[in-house]
Amino acid sequence: MKLKDAIDVGQECGLETPAECVNNIILHAMNLFPYDDINIETKELVEEAEKEGVKFCVQCGGAMIKDDGCYMCRNFGKLEGGQKDELPVR
């Protein structure tokens, strides 16, 4: 999926930043793409988003919304032990 398409979908959902729009697509990929295309579509989206300056968490792969740690890990429990420490960014 192209970043522009993800942003269009995200704006329809009331999202404001490219990172939020990317996470929206990643979270709903199972509902948006045929099973065999999920990896292809999300990989294309992530690669294009990285070129545009979106940073991603190295632990969960979610787009970083802010510079104060990973929103996805913090809010969806991906950090071990429920800690809220900052994660490295790729």
**pTM, to two decimals:** 0.79
**Do 31 and 75 belong together in one domain?**
no
Residue pLDDT, tens place only, 19-63: 999 999 999 999 999 999 999 999 999 999 999 999 998 888 889
**Do 38 and 65 belong together in one domain?**
no
Task: Work out how many domains the chain is built from and give that number.
Answer: 2
* Sign of the C-alpha dihedral computed for residues 30, 32, 36 and 38 taken in this order: negative
CA distance 45 to 75: 22
- Say whether pLDDT at 77 is over 70: no
**Do 12 and 48 belong together in one domain?**
yes
Helix, strand, coil content of the chain in percent (nearest 5): 55, 5, 40
**Do 5 and 49 belong together in one domain?**
yes
Domain span at 89? 58-90
**Do 29 and 70 belong together in one domain?**
no
